[in-house]
Amino acid sequence: MQLRKQIPNLLQGIAVGFIIGFIIVLFLPKKTLDTNPVVEFKEVKRETQLPDEKSTAPTSYAEAVRRAAPAVVNIHTTKVVTRRIHPFFDDPAIRRFFGDSILPPQKRLETSLGSGVIVSSQGYIITNHHVIDQADEILVALHDERTTEAVVVGSDPESDLAILKISLNDIPAITIGRSDAMQVGDVVLAIGNPFGVGQAVSQGIISATGLSQLGIATFENFIQTDAAINPGNSGGALINAYGELIGINTAIFSQSGGSQGIGFAIPVDLAKNVMQQIIEHGETTRGWLGVDIQTLTPALAESFNLEDTKGIVIAGVIRDGPADHAKLKAGDIITLINDKQVSDATEALNLIAQTPPGSQIRLTGLRNRDPLSIIAIVGKRARPE
């Protein structure tokens, strides 16, 4: 009986508690109730789904290396060097006094190491010109430990490329990719023979494309990568994540002689063009106008009273050359070559060189601030000595 009498009081207490709690929540500042701060994120609404598991980057590039490595070779070159015992005896007066018979010149062998890439089952190999330059003997060691002599089909010092040929059975060849499809950030692998230790692979990404004005070659269009490229890697393969050739490793930027994460490779599109010309014609053929050109700097633009620096300046014209016959003059400003904008001297040189000799080339720009349009017949660029 007493429990029944207490029920109304108990219910009344619960109701009062709810009312007090409601008042506290409603009127008390919110900060006094928060025990931990709440972080609010700005959510990004994705238009597309994240890539599925199959399309994510691989955890291993072993398959790419397995496909490409058999076509990467080691190149051993030997050349005979003639020199005197001491430079003292190179003096004409000393030689006149002692005669050449007393201390005859000595001959010795110099050897060097490099790499190359087999690009055809016919035995054609692409490497760097500087790897085989002036070599008297070239030995090629394949991935399967076969060794054979190679002959030089041709070389192009201006792009630092050379083509060799070997004669063996069952020659492996690499798959050629597209260097123009590669982008900054793409994964690449460098395969070669660093320091003569044998074939090795390093991994990195493409750091930049279309680099020029490095002073490595006359015609430059380099891929930059942070994949380790060391002495002996020259002429080796730069491949993509699928094992396809996209570049020929050529040079490094280094203050110590070792890799510092800045390496340069010749795009395979350029290398393939040079290779085809050498194999089909015995040499590379490039266009030539007979002009000395300079990049239009802000100082030059100001001196010509120009508003911007787009274009190049004709600094000189060779007498009786194609440009001279077309009435091009020193001081002319060229902004377009075959309707393509030119921004510096290197780009202009490449555009002229890519134009076949005997064909027409249109040069558009300014002469004394007046519009200029000239058609020239492209000549053939002479091979450097």
> Is 84 part of any domain?
yes
> Is 158 part of any domain?
yes
**Separation in Å, CA 334 to CA 135, 178, 243:** 42, 31, 42
Active site residue 160: yes
Taking only the tens place, the pLDDT of each residue in 308-327 is 778 899 999 999 999 999 99
> Is 8 part of any domain?
no
Could you say which of 134, 165, 196 is where a domain stops? 165
Q: What is the DSSP string of 225-269?
A: E-S---TT-TT-EEEETTSEEEEEEEEE--SSSS--S-EEEEEHH
Active-site option among 156, 160, 226, 332 = 160
Same domain, 185 and 277: yes
> Is 203 part of any domain?
yes
Could you say which of 217, 248, 281 is where a domain stops? 281
> Is 155 part of any domain?
yes
Could you say which of 117, 141, 165 is where a domain stops? 165
Taking only the tens place, the pLDDT of each residue in 171-221 is 999 999 988 888 999 999 999 888 777 888 999 899 988 777 666 667 777
Contact 280, 209 (CB under 8 A): no
Same domain, 183 and 277: yes
Same domain, 107 and 182: no
Residue 278 burial by Cβ neighbours in a 10 Å radius (0-12, 13-18, 19+): buried
The single residue listed with the structure tokens 């063009």 is 273
> Is 50 part of any domain?
no
Number of neighbours of residue 166 by Cβ within 10 angstroms: 22
Taking only the tens place, the pLDDT of each residue in 19-56 is 665 555 555 555 444 444 443 333 334 343 334 444 55
pLDDT tier for residue 304 given thresholds of 50, 70 and 90: confident
Active-site option among 130, 207, 226, 332 = 130
- Rounded CA gap, 289 and 301, in Å? 23
- Rounded CA gap, 381 and 352, in Å? 10
Same domain, 109 and 140: yes
What pLDDT, on the 0 to 100 scale, is given for residue 233?
84
Same domain, 235 and 291: no
Q: Choose between 297 and 317: higher pLDDT.
A: 317
Active-site option among 234, 259, 332, 344 = 234
pLDDT tier for residue 249 given thresholds of 50, 70 and 90: very high
Whether the pLDDT of residue 289 is over 90: the answer is yes
> Is this prediction's pTM over 0.95?
no
Domain of residue 224, residue span:
176-281
> Is 260 part of any domain?
yes
pLDDT tier for residue 257 given thresholds of 50, 70 and 90: low
Residue type, 96: R
Same domain, 187 and 148: no
- Domain count along the chain: 3
Sheet holding 106-118, edge to edge: 147-149, 137-141, 72-83, 106-118, 124-127, 161-165, 151-156
Backbone angles phi, psi at 277, to 5 degrees: -65, -40
Same domain, 180 and 264: yes
Same domain, 271 and 329: no
Q: Choose between 83 and 334: higher pLDDT.
A: 334
Same domain, 291 and 277: no
Whether the pLDDT of residue 18 is over 50: the answer is yes
Q: CA 4, 9, 12, 13 torsion: positive or negative?
A: negative
Determine the average pLDDT of the residues in 102-112: 68
Same domain, 102 and 156: yes
Active site residue 121: no
CATH number at residue 302: 2.30.42.10
CATH number at residue 125: 2.40.10.10
> Is 345 part of any domain?
yes
Same domain, 275 and 181: yes
- Rounded CA gap, 24 and 232, in Å? 79
What pLDDT, on the 0 to 100 scale, is given for residue 24?
55
Q: Choose between 131 and 80: higher pLDDT.
A: 131
Same domain, 240 and 255: yes
Active site residue 234: yes
pLDDT tier for residue 85 given thresholds of 50, 70 and 90: low
